Chain A
């Protein structure tokens, strides 16, 4: 993947500096983002240095102190915005039922319901392009959390991750299943291929996962995000599969969603009960962060869905 196109003063200056392997970024540090899209594409690229990097950027910049300083500054702003959006939550007992109820109680827009009944083939292709940004690194952000946990939640998380990563088989890896679906639909499969085309809502979503996963203090939010993600996947995946069938689209992509109907019916139980349950049993002070992460997942997906539905006037 090459570094994305800039979306404003900050990202343009930053990406130019990264491509030319500058030794100092002091001028970039004092450049303000023009808008949210400029901020989030900058943050996304800085996070991406910790995943697969860019072909046109030197790997050593991953830990350049000024780029870390910039990342810290951008992500602090973002974290505060996310926290400000969260309504007050009354957390009940028992924990697992309270978390399931909280997730079920979130009334958001549903792209899956739209795909099931009304979407055109072009609209589905557009959604798939947006989804590549996460699905091609499916489960990767959460993998960063593993060494930050004590034995109970760590073992439980690995049980889920092992399934995400295809039980050790590279062709069963969930991201590899998605690649087969993309190929069959005639879409590009390279990591980050559509990054220049995605709306800022996709970047919010992706950056929130990296923010939670790359900051050890936010491990509770990362696992809460995972729980909400898994617990809102099984039924919507069935709707996606039905929508794709309705439009006569590629069986390989239908398989991707069908696999998630079954897998995520397991994963939601694991994420809520054995993973988050074990986490808060050992670190009960993380309960509010688990709910913060869950809310953020639901809220950002809702904003993305609304954005797309508005765009299509659906």
Chain B
């Protein structure tokens, strides 16, 4: 459920997916990770060193390799 202007999921152009609220995210290896903060950023470029979360690495990728 989402109220106007406050979506549960935000896809950031060229960057992560923001996830609001409490969730459990399963990473590519099948390991489950609980969100711990009001908003979490899930990696979409695949290059983050703290999967499944974003660590800002997308910003140093060439634009065409960004999500």
A interface vs B, CB < 8 Å? Answer: 96-97, 100, 104, 152, 155, 159, 162-163, 167, 234-235, 238, 261-266, 268-270, 273-274
- Which 3 A-B residue pairs are closest in the complex by CB-CB distance? A234-B56, A265-B54, A266-B41
8 Å CB contacts to A: which residues of B41-67? 41, 48-50, 53-57, 59-60
Is the pair B56, A270 in contact by a Cβ cutoff of 8 Å?
no
B34 within 8 A of A: no
Task: Enumerate chain A residues within 8 angstroms of B10, measured Cβ to Cβ.
Answer: 269, 273-274
Complex alpha-carbon distance, A141 and B40, angstroms: 24
Is the pair A162, B38 in contact by a Cβ cutoff of 8 Å?
yes
B13 within 8 A of A: yes
- Beyond A104-B59, A234-B55, A262-B55, is A269–B18 a contact (Cβ under 8 Å)? yes
Give the nearest-CB partner of B40 in chain A: A266
Task: Enumerate chain B residues within 8 angstroms of A264, measured Cβ to Cβ.
Answer: 56
Give the nearest-CB partner of A236 in chain B: B56
Is the pair A167, B55 in contact by a Cβ cutoff of 8 Å?
no
The contact of A269 among B12, B37, B49, B53, by CB within 8 Å, is: B12
The contact of B37 among A97, A163, A234, A261, by CB within 8 Å, is: A163
Complex alpha-carbon distance, A261 and B50, angstroms: 9
Give the nearest-CB partner of B36 in chain A: A167
Q: Mark B4-31, 1 if CB is under 8 A from A, else 0.
A: 0110001011111010000000000000
Chain A proximity of B9: nearest CB distance (Å): 12
Task: Enumerate chain B residues within 8 angstroms of A263, measured Cβ to Cβ.
Answer: 37
Complex alpha-carbon distance, A96 and B55, angstroms: 19
Is the pair B50, A269 in contact by a Cβ cutoff of 8 Å?
no
The contact of A235 among B6, B18, B37, B59, by CB within 8 Å, is: B59
Is the pair B49, A238 in contact by a Cβ cutoff of 8 Å?
yes
Complex alpha-carbon distance, A268 and B54, angstroms: 11
Supply 27 A–B pairs (Cβ within 8 Å), ascending by A.
A96-B13, A100-B59, A155-B6, A159-B38, A163-B38, A167-B37, A167-B38, A234-B55, A235-B55, A235-B57, A235-B59, A238-B49, A238-B55, A261-B55, A263-B37, A265-B54, A265-B55, A266-B16, A266-B39, A266-B40, A266-B54, A269-B12, A269-B16, A269-B18, A269-B41, A270-B18, A274-B10
Task: Enumerate chain B residues within 8 angstroms of A152, measured Cβ to Cβ.
Answer: 5
